[in-house]
Amino acid sequence: MCTMEHRRQHIILTTYPAQGHINPSLKLADKLVDLGMQVTFTTSISARRFIPKTYSKKSLCFKLYSDGYDQGIQNPADAVDFYNKLKSYGAKCVEEIIVSSAQQGNPVTCLVYTIFYHWVAEVARGFDLPSMLYWIQPAAVFAIYYYYFNGYKDAFDKIDDPSWSIKLPGLPLLNKPDLPSFIIPSSQDVYTKALASLKQHFDALSSDPMPKVLINSFEDLEHHALKSIDKLILLAVGPVIQSAFLDGKHDSFDNSRKQIDWLNSKGDSSVIYVSFGTMINLPKSEMEEIAKALLKSGRPFLWIVKKNKDEKEEDKLSCMDKLEEQGLIVPWCSQVEVLSHKALGCFVTHCGWNSTLETLASGVPVVAYPKWTDQGTIAKMIQDVWKTGVRVNGSEQGNVDGDEIYQCLETVMGRGEKAEELRRNAEKWKDLAREAVKHGGTSYKHLKGFVEEM
């Protein structure tokens, strides 16, 4: 049981059990606590490994529930069952918190939830409580889904036509690879389920008389997308990102010193950092192409390659010896700390939204290597709107070429005009991101306004 000081406002913040959802949710919880809220943070037990051990805040209470997959989902075939259980067990947990908090004289006053947890709004309605979606992807992606579910669906019918493109309010001209992958027709049950869940979010918002959404983005970055929907108020409160120095270490991460010492030994802006986040495991063929590009560049690199306990001899990269001479390959790092190191020159990223906000806030330019979900849209924004990076073609299908990746690395790391422009833009966004969250900045004001309205 949580013992904590009772505060006037008590929020339940509930989130999907993945690192990319937990990180921005924990940081939002921190900010709400700092603004005087009491927060009960709830997710499933499998997410415990994503919550730093050192995480203890005076008014942040954790309630972890079992969803039947306490070790995380091991078999992709279980994805739909996992998703259904998250909902049924999660709803029960949230209901219990509401009832027991009221009995203890500490009633819940608002529920905040992230993507795929639209059922929290139903639970809230059942108790006559307000609820709010906390959207942890870009506003641009939110707007694409909004228009897809609100009047524009037919315009996506010819998506497979190579000349197809779409212009939606507040967004640049989009081609098929720029769309969130769940919109692209697929035979995969998980995609269908994800799209159905997203639709429920938008249905819930359209039945809300005063719909507002908290968004992990900031005004300067996504002004047009944030203002593109008349019927909704999108409150940009970001970048809500993990701070390595405050949040401590990931459980499985025990060698940060080694990486920082290694970075300390490198020249300013000389290192390529390569990471594909927490969910993506690239096939060996793609890893070989990336390895080829890194070796050809001759530059030092820090490459995050997740441990595979079933790895066989034939899974090993062919040029491992040479790679280890030139770079450092580790299974995990404290990314925010790495990105803020002066040795960093470029981030080869899958364009997860947290990684993207972290690299924007650190002023590090990017080679965009999107794979799925919101990443194609983010890569589009990076290359054509924010202009902080270049995109590897064909990465979604794994159809990549080492020489092209090498060219992208040279464009970003080289001495040419393009590299200078990317670095200049990256610096600009770094300053604007930091401005937004400062006391009095736009994101700070939006979050404070949300709290005061409660």
Query: Least distance to ligand UDP from the beta carbon of 324, Å?
Result: 18
Residue type, 55: Y
| CA 41 – CA 23 distance, rounded (Å) | 12
Query: Least distance to ligand UDP from the beta carbon of 250, Å?
Result: 6
Nearest by Cα to 84 from 131, 116, 114: 116
Nearer to ligand UDP, 136 or 291 (CB): 136
- Binding of ligand UDP by 395 (CB under 6 A): no
**Cis before residue 239, ω within 30 degrees of 0?**
yes
Q: What is the DSSP string of 14-64?
A: E--SSHHHHHHHHHHHHHHHHTT-EEEEEEEGGGGGGS-TT--BTTEEEEE
Q: What is the DSSP string of 247-277?
A: H---TT---HHHHHHHHHTS-TT-EEEEE-T
Site size for ligand UDP (CB under 6 A) = 20
Nearer to ligand UDP, 259 or 443 (CB): 259
Considering only 222, 286, 289, 358, the residue that binds ligand UDP (CB under 6 A) is 358
Catalytic residue among 6, 10, 21, 250: 21
Report 10-49 residues binding ligand UDP (CB under 6 A). Answer: 18-20, 23
Query: Least distance to ligand UDP from the beta carbon of 353, Å?
Result: 5
| CA 361 – CA 374 distance, rounded (Å) | 19
- Binding of ligand UDP by 377 (CB under 6 A): no
- Binding of ligand UDP by 334 (CB under 6 A): yes
Residue nearest to ligand UDP as judged by C-beta position = 20
Q: Which residues pair with 12 in a beta bridge?
A: 40, 111
Nearer to ligand UDP, 434 or 445 (CB): 434
Q: How far apart are the first and last CA of the chain?
A: 26
Active-site residue, 223 included = no
Residues 6+ apart with CB under 8 A from 157: none
Query: Least distance to ligand UDP from the beta carbon of 289, Å?
Result: 20
| CA 42 – CA 326 distance, rounded (Å) | 43
Report 233-292 residues binding ligand UDP (CB under 6 A). Answer: 242, 275, 277-279
Both tokens assigned to 123: 């639970």
Nearer to ligand UDP, 354 or 443 (CB): 354
Residue labelled with tokens 């990465």: 395
Q: Tell me which residues are annotated as active site.
A: 21
Could you list the residues that contact ligand UDP (CB under 6 A)?
A: 18-20, 23, 242, 275, 277-279, 304, 332-336, 352-355, 358
